[in-house]
Structure 1
Amino acid sequence: MSLANCKVTETNPLSGEDAKWVKLVKTVYTDPNGTTRDWESAERCTRPVGVDYDGVGIVAVMEHPGQPPALLLQKQFRPPIGKVCIEVPAGLVDANETAEECALRELYEETGYRGEIAETEKSCLMFNDPGMCNTNLHMIHVKIDLTKEENKNPKPQLEENEFIECFTVPLKDLYAECKRFDKEGYAIDARVGTLAEGFELVKKWNFL
């Protein structure tokens, strides 16, 4: 299996009747001057009833004595942009599942690693692209102890249509690695890029 073999072969309009995962919506609203306007956007069709978010992104930090902490990342082909994307593990929440439970489940399914929720609260509710869609998520911080037996030979539990390559990057190198991947033609997921920019800001302006 090689993600390099992936390519978009055809793109066609999709009717609302045929869409399973998303739908187009026209929203009518009034602007600050009282003028009525229209806005076109997309909405997911997968959010469980009674839940106010779609899923989670996972900041999974690999820990091993004597080694610098590293971030667990993924490569995954994304048809909408026709590129292999550098991403954090992520997934949609199931009904009757907390964000933390979702994060641990998705981490195991996509990477094979068993993690522990870090001693930080989940993030505020984040909207991925509010001008385009209503999709949102919580970022969950997870620790992966590489000394544990269960993490020495991880085996992902991928679905038939999932093709994911996992790799790690030392946290201190994330910004430089994002730059390198970008030059090599990969797409950088905004969650990864934002983490990298945050680390770089701390280093440049010495916030901490």
Structure 2
Amino acid sequence: MTENRKEPHPFYEETLETKPIFQGRMISLQVDTVRLPDGGTATREIVRHPGAVAVLALVEGKSKMLVVEQYRKPLERVQVEIPAGKLEPGEDPLEAAARELEEETGYRAEGLTHLQSFSTSPGFAEEIVHLYYADELVQGEIHLDEEEFLTCEAITLEQAWQYVREGRICDAKTLLAVYAWQLQAATGSLPLRG
């Protein structure tokens, strides 16, 4: 019987040693020693993160997008973003997206459609964000997590682009959502992952 082994990519870096540096509530940091394709060695600083979800949620006949405004300490400023949150270990991204949407906006989705999953900073972090779309929403009550302070509003596409120009929207997940919404407005369809 022949084993079906896939040869590693020519650029593959074999991990020789992993040194844990920090274990936090949301992330951990490790330094890996790797063997390079040419036989040399190098170190790689890696942030481990369980992943996250985000929701492009449209209301009022798809004329407005739900966003939250909150302070982001790493940037030392208030940001406008689509509803999002961290995955719990083993949590299904679809269930997490529904939970985060309701917690941060008070809206429940009748259905969520997966648009795309993407890495945020593949040069040093393993975090993957799963982006979902919803346009059939039922309004309820906001249930924020402890230590979470934000406001929710519904903005038009024109307002979203204004926020981008002002730098109030600058994170990848929200920029991707605004571009997807723009494409939907122009063509009538979303850029679904194939």
TM-based fold match above 0.5: yes
Aligned residues: 169
Contact conserved, 2:79 with 2:169, CA < 8 A, in 1?
yes
Find the aligned partners of 1:168 and 1:37 in 2 and give their Cα distance: 48
Find the aligned partners of 1:26 and 1:123 in 2 and give their Cα distance: 33
Per-residue CA deviation, residues 85-141 of structure 1 (Å, 9 max, x unaligned), is 1211111234564322211111111111111224x4x23431111113111121111
Find the aligned partners of 1:114 and 1:173 in 2 and give their Cα distance: 23
Once the two structures are TM-superposed, the CA of residue 38 in structure 1 deviates from its matched residue by: 0.7
> Going by fraction, where is strand more abundant, 1 or 2?
2
Q: 1:200 to 1:158 in 2, by over 3 A?
A: closer
**C-alpha RMSD of the superposition:** 2.9
Contact conserved, 1:74 with 1:164, CA < 8 A, in 2?
yes
Aligned letter for 2:176?
T
Residue 73 of structure 1 is matched in structure 2 by 67
Residue 61 of structure 1 is matched in structure 2 by 58
Residue 163 of structure 2 is matched in structure 1 by 177
Residue 152 of structure 2 is matched in structure 1 by 166
1:189-204 to 2 correspondences below 5 Å? 189-197=171-179
Aligned letter for 1:101?
E
Sequence identity (%):
26
1:45-194 to 2 correspondences below 5 Å? 47=50, 54-64=51-61, 69-94=63-88, 97-118=91-112, 120=113, 122-145=114-137, 151=139, 154-171=140-157, 173-180=159-166, 182=167, 186=168, 188-194=170-176
Runs of 4+ in 1 over 3 A off after TM superposition: 94-97, 195-204
Contact conserved, 2:64 with 2:155, CA < 8 A, in 1?
yes
- Give 5+ residue unaligned stretches, structure 2: 1-20, 190-194
Q: 1:170 to 1:128 in 2, by over 3 A?
A: same
Q: 1:28 to 1:203 in 2, by over 3 A?
A: farther
Per-residue CA deviation, residues 12-44 of structure 1 (Å, 9 max, x unaligned), is xxx736x33222111222334332211112113
Find the aligned partners of 1:32 and 1:199 in 2 and give their Cα distance: 42
Contact conserved, 1:117 with 1:140, CA < 8 A, in 2?
no
Find the residue that maps to 2:43 and give its secondary structure.
strand
Once the two structures are TM-superposed, the CA of residue 155 in structure 1 deviates from its matched residue by: 2.3
- Give 5+ residue unaligned stretches, structure 1: 1-14, 48-53
Q: 1:165 to 1:144 in 2, by over 3 A?
A: farther
Aligned letter for 2:163?
E
